[in-house]
Amino acid sequence: MVICDFLLTEEAKEALLGYFFYEIWEDMGEEHRGG
């Protein structure tokens, strides 16, 4: 499948990891701000 091939690309991995860590970073930031 095209989707599987896309998910296996290095660019896709970096994009997904970047988004994943960005979400965690935002959550941590909210906690530090006492939000």
pLDDT digits (tens, 9 = 90+) for 1-35: 566 666 568 888 888 888 889 988 888 887 766 65
Integer Cα distance of 20 and 25 in angstroms: 9
pLDDT at 1: 56
Residue 26: the pLDDT is 86
Q: Cα-flanking dihedrals φ and ψ of residue 11, to 5°? A: -60, -40
Note the pLDDT of residue 16: 85
Domain residue ranges in the chain: 2-32
pTM over 0.85: no
Question: How many other β-carbons are positioned within 10 Å of the β-carbon of residue 12?
Answer: 13
Q: How confident is the model at residue 13, as a pLDDT?
A: 84
Q: Which pLDDT score, from 0 to 100, does residue 5 have?
A: 67
